Structure 1
Amino acid sequence: MDQYSQYDLREDDPYLIEGSDCLQNLLGFTDTKSLNHAEEQLTQLTMAELVADPVPATFDLKHLQAIHFRIFEDVYPFAGQCRQTEILKGGKLFLPHNMIEQVSTEVFTELHSENLLQGLAPAEFGKRAGYYLGKINMIHPFREGNGRTQRVLVDQLASLNNFALEWAAISGEGMARACREARTTDPDGTALQRLLSLHTVLPSSR
């Protein structure tokens, strides 16, 4: 799961419970450890439900927001809402929140201009999917839950193209490093392209 405690904490973060480092939530928790545990249990169920009953796949910011809402609607009052604050990790800012809509439009327009990656061989699809994953991760439109939301969207993109992604075969450390490089030193997401290229398969071969 995403560990929002790994974000750099800011005293003026409007999403935290006042006087706490715990995110506002609908579950009544006031400490991060308990919230994380309960959230993990709940979102395992909601993500499984999304496999059986996916949101309409429009591949735009509203699509991403709909996924986020479905995953976190019982956990966070801001489920499905783009963040209204800046967030950092390792002292490095994600995209400023007032640019989320503009840059998302640019990224998803580019994806649609590539015909949603249809007609590509598995390895080439993985490369292009890795490129777009890096772009979406750089935007980081939500205060929490970006990683899971992004993966669901990329899974839908893979399914559209009759592929599947072997996320479980990618180490958390390797994914974190590749995402960090994509938003700091490698805007084309070369490492993400390689990871997804190596782990794009036909569903029957999983």
Structure 2
Amino acid sequence: MNEEVRDTEWYRKKFLYPNGTLKNKLNITDPTELAQREYRGSAVRALAFLRKNKKITSVEDLKKIHKIMFGWLYNWAGQIRDYELTKGETEFLEYSRIKFGIEEIDEKMKQLASKKELENTDYAFLLDRLNYLHPFREGNGRSSKLFLQAFAANHGQVIDYPRSNKDLITAQNNADINQIADLIKVSSKANKSSK
């Protein structure tokens, strides 16, 4: 939970408790406790979502996934951010351009929808663009991965993400689609179930 918004009084009042912890529906003010509850709760909801096998077609579905994963904890879950966002040295897509970022992702998904099987580079492209879009205050990586996992299921595929997130985050921050493609493994569901 170390994403930063360009420092504004408005942002602090809207999203943070005085100690810097994200405001939440459970009124948890300890950042460690909040992180633990968030990760456990979002993981349970992500698994339940995957079991439903929903068809994924656009960023609208990403908003729904984010709401499912985090709506129990945050009032703003599933809502596209309306402010600038950075994380360390990484600046994400400017708020004024988010609409265009969403349109690019949706257009690519329409192009890919007709393909029987997708390549690692197809998913890597989408993961890169979703990372740069960074539409939500928190939970972008987790909701994007679930979104792409469900999109892969539409194509009878499964994505295995690397165990360590560090290399993937570095590749995403460098917008290195080839490196992202090398780090994720895509297989057909038939191959996965026979192992």
TM-score range, shorter chain: 0.7 to 0.9
In the alignment, the residues of structure 2 paired with residue 143 and residue 117 of structure 1 have an alpha-carbon distance, to the nearest angstrom, of 32
Contact 2:6 2:84 survives alignment (8 Å): no
Segments of 4+ moved more than 3 angstroms: 8-11
* Percentage of pairs with the same residue: 22
Q: TM-score, normalised by structure 1?
A: 0.83
**Which residue in the other structure is 2:115 paired with?**
118
Aligned residues: 189
Q: Which amino acid is the alignment partner of residue 182 of structure 2?
A: R
Q: Secondary structure at the match of 1:143?
A: coil
- Unpaired segments ≥5 residues, structure 1: none
Q: Secondary structure at the match of 2:132?
A: helix
CA distance change for structure 1 residues 141 and 21 in 2, over 3 Å: closer, same or farther? same
CA distance change for structure 1 residues 131 and 143 in 2, over 3 Å: closer, same or farther? same
**Which residue in the other structure is 1:134 paired with?**
128
In the alignment, the residues of structure 1 paired with residue 173 and residue 138 of structure 2 have an alpha-carbon distance, to the nearest angstrom, of 16
How big is the shift at 1:74?
A: 0.5
- Unpaired segments ≥5 residues, structure 2: none
CA distance change for structure 1 residues 85 and 20 in 2, over 3 Å: closer, same or farther? farther
In the alignment, the residues of structure 2 paired with residue 29 and residue 111 of structure 1 have an alpha-carbon distance, to the nearest angstrom, of 38
Contact 1:170 1:195 survives alignment (8 Å): no
Residue 24 of structure 2 is aligned to residue 33 of structure 1: no
In the alignment, the residues of structure 1 paired with residue 64 and residue 5 of structure 2 have an alpha-carbon distance, to the nearest angstrom, of 27
Residue 187 of structure 2 is aligned to residue 201 of structure 1: yes
In the alignment, the residues of structure 1 paired with residue 106 and residue 156 of structure 2 have an alpha-carbon distance, to the nearest angstrom, of 20
